Amino acid sequence: MELIKELQRRTPLGWLQLSHHTSRLFVALAGIAFADVLMFMQLGFQNALYDSNTTLNRAVLADIIFMSPQSRNMQSMSTFSRRRLFQAADVPGVKSATAMYIGLITWKNPQTRRKTTVQAIGVTPDEPVLDLPELNAQLDQIKLPNFFIFDRGARGEYQEVFRQIDAGQTVSTEIDKQTITISGTFKLGASFGADGTLISSNENFLRLLPQRQAGSISLGLINVEPGYDSQQVAAVLKLHLQNNQDVKVLTREEFIKFEENYWKAESPIGFIFTLGVAMGFIVGVIIVYQVLSTDVNAHLKEYATFKAMGYRNSYLLGVIFEEAIILALLGFIPGFIVSLGLYRLARNATNLPIYMTLARPVFVLLLTIVMCSISGIIATQRLQSADPADMF
Amino acid sequence: MVPVISIQNLDHYFGGGQLSKQVLFNINLTINAGEIVIMTGPSGSGKTTLLTLVGGLRSVQSGSLQVLGRELCGATSEELIQSRRSNGYIFQAHNLHGSLTALQNVRMGLEVQPKISSQQMLKQSQEILEAVGLGHRLHYYPDNLSGGQKQRVAIARALVSQPKIVLADEPTAALDKQSGRDVVDIMQKLAKEQSSTILLVTHDNRILDIADRVICMEDGHLLRDGVSTLTSG
């Protein structure tokens, strides 16, 4: 209460000083906004990356997933023996165990006829195993020989392809001297690992990649009987099957985390974007320090006069901090707004899910306040030299 | 007669070690309440240095300097800060804050004193600005005031808290004859009203008449009766 009363009777010297030199103020705000935009973009891309790379994992409709222990992420999958699926079916609580094949292929873009790499997935056409409504509506189609459906969210030039398919036609293209037919689309989205995805039945997959064996599968999808706890069944399966060390048993959450952790730890991407955020932060500190120290220098005589009048050093430090906080808050707003616009631009350009979250502006605002406070602390070192006696 | 400023055997040195130079030599001076004292002398005579010591802007190195009963030699920085708050200091360059209006500048003279409410501060600041003849310029920025007007704001700022001691360092140096005269007249009037003591350092011979006492300094020495101690017997 005392503090609030004290604050109310105080002349807002920091604000008055800042607002009196509008051009300097705008430079400072622009600098802070810029630093904030840098940080927002880095964080946005980083999150979009993690999110986009786990869309496929999150689309998997299984309670428990089997995977090779050597698999590193969805685009770099090793295989394991299909026999493990049959063994799993014996365990109480297991309702079904189906196989999924994943591989990377080089195909000719049906529109540009240029070669590019896409991800191919083979699933059972008998029941939905992925949470992709369009796929599940076309399960009959993928039973047909060499019929595939393609990701509408793929990165690259495919507008013609989609237009034709929307008009009811099919599109053909070549993969390794075989011809396939694209009869439909679904929506998944590109990731850093794969520009696009083709999905079909297990049979079509194996036909397409003859070097793959039917007995070696990429993922095993286990559904648990109603009434059984997935964690417990997973524990039992682990006991049963992990002796041979050729299969890994994961719950759905663990499966999603597995993919996240790969991109966080084993690729340089996490480091790169965190470094990007740090650089944006440092840019901000430097710009704000420049403004604050110029401001302190400009008012050194007045500050010395205040000291002669009996004001304490702590009062003057308070003025600097007042300026730092005002700059942080005012600079953050344009930074945030510009970032929203840039997010949309980036979304359209990269097809990555770059979105503003609720937590991120709070985080960046905190960083901005810390950034301005640090600049303020460094700038106050200059204040020590505002000695009234030196003016004579 | 109550001494408000009591100086005994005061010496002062600038620089340290090999470069140490003595600038004040054995100053002895007593100033009583309500007196108007002018200190004059050539440049470099040490009068401004003495003023800053009385004002608590510099630390007293040797000797005794008592202001309003407080010994400043050996005082802590907190004690110096408290001492400064009972003085009104007027600088040669007014040193008004460019981002504050005349009224806001004067208010700063009160804000440093605790326990004065916002309304009280506003009222007192307005009144004293009217008393110095700037009631119509309350919300002007220093950039839009003349030299004489700025110095009057500075006086208002120094005197608004009704300090017991007013210290002025060459207040008329940057002003023409008329403005200078006005400034000093205002200082004298307000000080008499508030029963303050004035210690004023100046070169300006035109304003010596307002003083009760004129003291001369030369080369760091206080002259007695206008005669240099360096040349006397």
pLDDT band at B2 (very low <50, low <70, confident <90, very high): confident
* pLDDT value for B227: 44
Q: Which residue has the higher pLDDT, A338 or A289?
A: A338
Q: What is the C-alpha separation between B43 and B27, in angstroms, rounded?
A: 18
Cα–Cα–Cα angle for B161, B39, B219, rounded to 5 degrees: 135
Can you say how many angstroms the Cα of residue A45 is from the centroid of all Cα atoms in its chain?
Answer: 5
Q: What ipTM does this complex have?
A: 0.88
DSSP conformation class of B144: G
Average pLDDT over residues A190-209: 88
Share of chain B above pLDDT 90, in %: 50
A220-231: pLDDT as tens digits: 999 998 888 888
Residues β-bridged to residue A97: A222
- Could you give the 3-state DSSP secondary structure of residue B39? strand
A55-81: pLDDT as tens digits: 899 999 999 999 999 998 888 899 999
Nearest CA in chain B to A16: B99
Q: If you count residue pairs, one on A and one on B, with CB atoms under 8 Å apart, how many are there? A: 68
| Phi/psi of residue A150, nearest 5 degrees | -120, 150
B173 membership: H or E segment, kind and range: none
Yes or no: say if B68 and B47 are a contact pair by the CB < 8 Å rule: no
Average pLDDT over residues B19-31: 91
Packing angle between helix A22-53 and helix A359-380, nearest 10 degrees?
140
For residue B169, which residues of chain A lie inside 8 Å, CB to CB? 392
For the entire predicted model, the pTM comes to 0.74
* pLDDT value for B11: 93
Query: Which of B45, B54, B57 to mutate to probe the A interface, most A CBs <10 Å?
Result: B57
CB atoms within 10 A of CB A75: 18
- Could you give the 3-state DSSP secondary structure of residue B184? helix
For residue A389, which residues of chain B lie inside 8 Å, CB to CB? 52, 57-58
Contact A312 B81 (CB under 8 A): yes
A137-169: pLDDT as tens digits: 988 988 999 999 999 888 888 888 899 998 988
Yes or no: say if A158 and A111 are a contact pair by the CB < 8 Å rule: yes
Q: Residues, chain A, total?
A: 392
Share of chain B above pLDDT 70, in %: 95
Considering only CB atoms, B57 lies closest to which of A11, A311, A389, namely A389
* pLDDT value for B145: 93
| Phi/psi of residue A289, nearest 5 degrees | -60, -45
Q: What is the C-alpha separation between B204 and A325, in angstroms, rounded?
A: 47
DSSP conformation class of B219: T
Indicate whether A293 pLDDT > 80: yes
DSSP collapsed to 3 states, chain A: CHHHHHHHHCCCHHHHHHHHCHHHHHHHHHHHHHHHHHHHHHHHHHHHHHHHHCHHHHHECCCEEEECCCCCECCECCCEECHHHHHHHCCCCEEEEEEEEEEEEEEECCCCCCEEEEEEEEECCCCCCECCHHHHHCCCHHHCCCEEEEECCCCCCCHHHHHHHHCCCCEEEEECCEEEEEEEEECCCCCCCCCCEEEEEHHHHHHHCCCCCCCEECEEEEEECCCCCHHHHHHHHHHHHHHHCCCEEEEHHHHHHHHHHHHHHHCCHHHHHHHHHHHHHHHHHHHHHHHHHHHHHHCHHHHHHHHHHCCCHHHHHHHHHHHHHHHHHHHHHHHHHHHHHHHHHHHHHHCCCCCCCCHHHHHHHHHHHHHHHHHHHHHHHHHHHCCHHHHC
- Could you give the 3-state DSSP secondary structure of residue B149? helix
Indicate whether A4 pLDDT > 80: no
B197-225: pLDDT as tens digits: 999 999 888 888 888 899 999 999 988 64
Yes or no: say if A237 and A244 are a contact pair by the CB < 8 Å rule: no
Using an 8 Å CB-CB cutoff, list residues of chain B that contact chain A: 48-49, 52, 55, 57-58, 81-82, 84-85, 87, 89, 91, 93, 95-100, 104, 107-109, 111-112, 117-118, 121, 157, 169
Considering only CB atoms, A388 lies closest to which of B57, B96, B111, namely B57
DSSP conformation class of B106: H
Considering only CB atoms, B95 lies closest to which of A9, A305, A389, namely A305
Yes or no: say if A373 and A324 are a contact pair by the CB < 8 Å rule: yes
Yes or no: say if A71 and A100 are a contact pair by the CB < 8 Å rule: no
Q: Which tokens in the block code for residue A351?
A: 């097809």
Contact A309 B108 (CB under 8 A): yes
- Could you give the 3-state DSSP secondary structure of residue B189? helix
Average pLDDT over residues A185-196: 83
Q: By C-alpha distance, which of B87, B117, B105 is closest to B141?
A: B105
Non-local (6+) Cβ contacts of A303 within 8 A are A296, A316, A383, A386
CB atoms within 10 A of CB B60: 20
Contact B97 A302 (CB under 8 A): yes
Yes or no: say if A109 and A172 are a contact pair by the CB < 8 Å rule: no
Distance from CA of B3 to the nearest CA of A (A): 22
Q: Which tokens in the block code for residue B215?
A: 């003291």
Yes or no: say if B163 and B86 are a contact pair by the CB < 8 Å rule: yes
Q: Burial of B4 by CB count in 10 Å (0-12 exposed, 13-18 middle, 19+ buried)?
A: buried
Q: By C-alpha distance, which of A252, A180, A261, A190 is closest to A220?
A: A252
B124 membership: H or E segment, kind and range: helix B118-131
Q: What is the C-alpha separation between A241 and A85, in angstroms, rounded?
A: 10
Average pLDDT over residues A246-271: 87
Nearest CA in chain B to A301: B95
Q: Residues, chain B, total?
A: 233
Distance from CA of A55 to the nearest CA of B (A): 56
For residue A323, which residues of chain B lie inside 8 Å, CB to CB? none
Distance from CA of A17 to the nearest CA of B (A): 5
* pLDDT value for A391: 58
Yes or no: say if B62 and B52 are a contact pair by the CB < 8 Å rule: no
Yes or no: say if B222 and B190 are a contact pair by the CB < 8 Å rule: no
pLDDT band at A16 (very low <50, low <70, confident <90, very high): very high
Can you say how many angstroms the Cα of residue B139 is from the centroid of all Cα atoms in its chain?
Answer: 26
Q: What is the C-alpha separation between A68 and A130, in angstroms, rounded?
A: 20
Distance from CA of A309 to the nearest CA of B (A): 6
Yes or no: say if A221 and A129 are a contact pair by the CB < 8 Å rule: yes
For residue B58, which residues of chain A lie inside 8 Å, CB to CB? 389
* pLDDT value for A197: 92
Nearest CA in chain A to B82: A310
* pLDDT value for A377: 84
Q: What is the C-alpha separation between B88 and A282, in angstroms, rounded?
A: 44
For residue B97, which residues of chain A lie inside 8 Å, CB to CB? 13, 299, 302, 305
Query: Which of B97, B120, B157 to mutate to probe the A interface, most A CBs <10 Å?
Result: B97
Indicate whether B231 pLDDT > 50: no
Contact B48 A392 (CB under 8 A): yes
Non-local (6+) Cβ contacts of A267 within 8 A are none
Query: Which of A2, A21, A309, A390 to mutate to probe the B interface, most B CBs <10 Å?
Result: A309
CB atoms within 10 A of CB A166: 11
Residues β-bridged to residue B38: B200, B214
- Point out the least confidently predicted range of A247-251, A269-273, A318-322, B197-201: A269-273
Indicate whether B102 pLDDT > 90: yes
Considering only CB atoms, B112 lies closest to which of A13, A21, A309, namely A309
